[in-house]
Amino acid sequence: MSLAGPGFGLWDEFHRLVLFGLTGNYVQNRTIKGAEMKILVTGGAGFIGSHVVDAYVQAGHDVVVVDDLSTGKKENVHPRARLYQVDIRRPELDKVFAVEKPDIVNHHAAKANVRESLAQPVFYADVNILGSLNLLELCRKHAVKKFIFISTGGAVYGEPVYLPADETHPIQPLDAYGASKAAFEHYFPPYRSNYGLSFTILRYANVYGPRQDPYGEAGVVAIFAGRMLHGEQAVINGSGEQERDFVYVGDAARANILALDRGDGKVYNIGTGVGTSINDVFARLKAATGYVGTDVHGPPKAGEVFKIYLDVDKAACELDWRPVVGLEEGLRLTVEYFRSQS
């Protein structure tokens, strides 16, 4: 089965194998047992959220998307999913829950720009904490069974005390984005103990891949690829020796499938366990795009961790999740996507 609808390209079959190659029996068993669930995905028109929607639809689930389209795009939404254009902070969201009655909420919607969060910390708290709390209250009111929350492993740990950082690493964010995500994680235990709401928290590393917006709240891979393909100067912030844990979006989406009925009450890092320098990413993308420009360095950006990569052994042991797409292959697929869009 290939993905259908606008916004999907030649990588569809590869993505299908990434999503289900290691979990085919799991998906098949769910279908045979008639265990289809209704899943509400916030931010499901965005970069990562739309891939998660694709994965849930492919697994046979009934998917509802809530997205205010401030950064998401309608064309990213799978044609078999229903889209409601609603801000997660608005009271109108109650009507969506009343009509759709979801079994599971998967919460990807967030403000997620580190530098912007330093300039607008109140706004980030409003969306990422109060907006998310509105969702929790609706889950309680409408008897939702489970909440999958997308947090950040790239920002909650701050400058790491040790590497790779595991889930027990001290929480010491350097920016308001990471602080808002870390703060909201503390709401889940009381909702679980008092109201029986199951939860799983996924702390993403630096996710990259097709559909990432090189002009919005984007990561370095999308920014570099977009600029290089248009013959524009790609600027490296600081020395370029900063290291990040780059995980392909198809691998991240697969973790959301596995979290549907595993990992109750747990927190999991979703990354690769490998740090890659920004200079290395620049060089790889330069080769993949045929870019002829040289590397230009600008000043370092405030609030950003210098070096971070995540220990993912817990996800491997308890979710049976491991990354399967290497950086070289992931960058190639990402460049193919941006080239097809331009």
> Which residue is it, tokens 């808002």?
180
Catalytic residue of the set 124, 157, 177, 337: 177
SS3 call for 325? coil
CB 117 within 8 A of CB 175: yes
Q: Is position 177 annotated as part of the catalytic site?
A: yes
Closest CA to 330 of 282, 291, 286, 284: 284
Region of residue 239 (phi > 0: left; psi between -120 and 50: alpha; otherwise: beta): alpha
> Which residues are within 8 A (CB) of 131 and not within 5 positions of it... i.e. 6 or more apart?
87, 88, 89, 109
Cα–Cα distance, 312 to 75 (Å, whole number): 32
Give the bridge partners for 268, in sequence order.
Answer: 202
Alpha helices in the chain (DSSP H): 12-20, 24-32, 47-58, 93-100, 114-119, 121-125, 132-141, 176-185, 188-195, 220-229, 249-258, 278-289, 313-318, 327-341
- Work out whether strand 296-298 and strand 246-248 pair parallel, antiparallel, or are unpaired: unpaired
Alpha helices in 208-312 (DSSP H): 220-229, 249-258, 278-289
Please calculate the CA angle 86-89-94 and round it to the nearest 5 degrees. 65
Q: Which sequence positions are flagged as catalytic?
A: 177
